[in-house]
Amino acid sequence: MKQPIRIVGQGMAGSMLAWHCERAGIEFELIDRGHATAASRVGVGLVSPLTGKRLAPTWRFSEWRDEVLTMYRELESELGLSLVREMRIRRFYRDAKQRELFESRIEKPEIAAWVDGLDDDGLWLKGALQVETGTLIAGLRKRWRQQGCLVEGVVPTDVEGAAIWCVGAERVPIRGIPWGPSRGELITGRLEGLEEDVVLNDGQWLLPQEDGRVRVGSTFDRDDLVSKCTDAGQSQLIAAAERLAGRPIQGATGDSGLRVTVPDGRPVVGWVDAARTQGVFAGFAAKGALWAPALARQWVVDGLDGAKLDPEVRLGRFFN
Ligand SMILES: Cc1cc2nc3c(=O)[nH]c(=O)nc-3n(C[C@H](O)[C@H](O)[C@H](O)COP(=O)(O)OP(=O)(O)OC[C@H]3O[C@@H](n4cnc5c(N)ncnc54)[C@H](O)[C@@H]3O)c2cc1C
């Protein structure tokens, strides 16, 4: 009898892989130690068409945005949870130099496609999504525990064994992948009266919730990977909230998590060995809400041999 696929870690990566296995009728076994440190619990699941100081197109956003929106809608109806919102982004210029840069960049068709207007203060971007990744992984965990296909426990990452490693910023037992973790802090507090479907962004973002709360993030620290929240990080975010909303945030509390990426900024996906005993599905940086469901579908859809995986994400690029 064929062994079930063994998936270690049930953040967005492990959840999306297991969900596509379930849909394809492939048996799986999930092992996860709990969501206390999961980036998917902390992150806010923003999926933006254009990001960063240079308004760069998000890799594969145009190709995958509608497909992942459909998947999240299906998950909403399966789990009876509210998981995804369509959003606009109000992207403010930091200064005159950035305004000049953005105005020159929107000449490019791949950037213009997502710009929905501009004025003296900034741009309006369309097409963004916000996914409640923490709610999603908690909902799937409950279902899979009830079905007996999720086991709570720690799989030692220094011991080799057949598995697909979906352990986020935790080191996987495969040498040669140049992981780069970073710690991100955010705050949650109250700021009433903002438009619920508009993300404010000037390099830091402010995400309104439907209940008068907002989430504001995030910091980026490659050196201190250990602290929970720092005074400097929390002050930076409280100041960002006031700058973006024009008034102070009330009752702010902080949280933090680790994201992980590799130097080319692409996820890391595929089998390590020809016998397909060890696999990796990680490196989702701050784009897990877009990349994890789309790449999990690609990996599972052809029976897990990986032949249809996007060449830019293949694990083999580190071993050539
Ligand atoms: C502050 C912050 C803001 C973010 N904002 C966004 C955003 O706006 N949009 C976006 O798309 N992404 C965002 N992200 C990134 C996003 O959260 C990640 O891309 C994604 O959630 C990573 O999912 P993952 O499954 O790879 O890792 P994780 O969510 O970390 O899941 C890993 C799981 O594996 C388990 N595990 C680890 N080791 C073991 C082991 N040895 N045995 C058993 N279980 C184990 C952990 O307990 C955990 O449950 C943000 C991240 C942070 C920190």
| CATH number where 143 lies | 3.50.50.60
Q: Is the CB of 218 under 6 A from ligand 1?
A: yes
User: Are residue 245 and residue 194 in the same domain, yes or no?
Assistant: yes
Q: Are residues 149 and 242 in the same domain?
A: no
Nearest CA-CA partner of 133 in 73, 72, 192: 72
- The best mutation among 141, 165, 170 to test binding of ligand 1, ranked by most ligand atoms within 8 Å of the C-beta, falls on 170
Residue nearest to atom 41 of ligand 1 (CA): 155
Ligand 1 pocket member 154 (CB < 6 A): yes
Whether residues 189 and 311 fall in one domain: no
Residue 40's SS3 state is helix
Q: How many domains does the chain have?
A: 2
User: Does residue 161 sit within a domain?
Assistant: yes
Which ligand 1 atom lies nearest to the CA of residue 257?
53
Count each helix (H run) and each strand (E run) in the chain, helices first: 8, 17
Residue nearest to atom 8 of ligand 1 (CA): 46
Q: Are residues 187 and 251 in the same domain?
A: yes
Does some domain include residue 284?
Answer: yes
Report the pLDDT value the prediction gives residue 159, as an integer from 0 to 100: 67
Residues 188 and 226 in one domain: yes
Q: Is the CB of 134 under 6 A from ligand 1?
A: no
294 shares its domain with 254: no
Determine if ligand 1 sits within 6 Å of the CB of residue 157: yes
Q: State whether 143 and 252 are in the same domain.
A: no
Please indicate, yes or no, whether residues 163 and 186 belong to a single structural domain of this protein. Answer: no
pLDDT of residue 160: 65
Ligand 1 in contact with 58 (CB < 6 A)? no
- Residue with the smallest CA separation from ligand 1 atom 1 is 184
Place 56 in a pLDDT band, splitting at 50, 70 and 90: very high
Q: What is the tens place of the pLDDT at every residue in 119-136?
A: 999 999 999 999 999 999
Q: What is the pLDDT of residues 240-293, one digit of tens each?
A: 999 999 999 999 999 999 999 999 999 999 999 888 889 999 999 999 999 999
> How many A from CA of 52 to the centre of ligand 1?
21
Band of the pLDDT at 161, cuts 50, 70, 90? confident
Question: 205 and 253 share a domain?
Answer: yes
Give, in order, the Cα–Cα distances in Å from 198 to each of 46, 89, 195.
12, 6, 6
Tell me how far the alpha carbon of residue 140 lies from the centroid of ligand 1, in angstroms. 15
If asked whether residues 138 and 243 sit together in one domain, one would say no
For the CA of 37, the nearest atom of ligand 1: 47
172 and 269 in a single domain? The answer is: yes
How far apart are the CA of 196 and the centre of ligand 1, in A? Answer: 25
Q: Is the CB of 44 under 6 A from ligand 1?
A: yes
Cβ–ligand 1 contact at 283 (below 6 Å): no
Distance 191 CA to ligand 1 centre (A): 27
Whole domain around residue 235: which residue ranges? 180-260
- Rounded CA-CA distance 90/234 in Å is 23
User: What mean pLDDT, rounded, does the chain reach?
Assistant: 95
What confidence score (pLDDT) does residue 238 get? 98
Q: CA quadruple 135, 83, 190, 225: dihedral positive or negative?
A: positive
**CATH number of the structural domain spanning residue 234:** 3.30.9.10
Where does the pLDDT of residue 304 fall: very low under 50, low under 70, confident under 90, or very high at 90 and above? confident
Compute the C-alpha angle 101/104/93, nearest 5°.
40
Q: Is residue 211 located within the same domain as residue 304?
A: no
- For residue 121, being part of any structural domain is answered with no
Ligand 1 pocket, 42 CB below 6 A? yes
Atom of ligand 1 nearest to the CA of 45: 9
The CA–CA distances, whole Å, from 22 to 1, 85, 231, 320 equal 18, 25, 44, 33
State whether the beta carbon of 127 lies less than 6 angstroms from ligand 1: no
Task: Point out the ligand 1 atom lying closest to the alpha carbon of residue 290.
Answer: 11
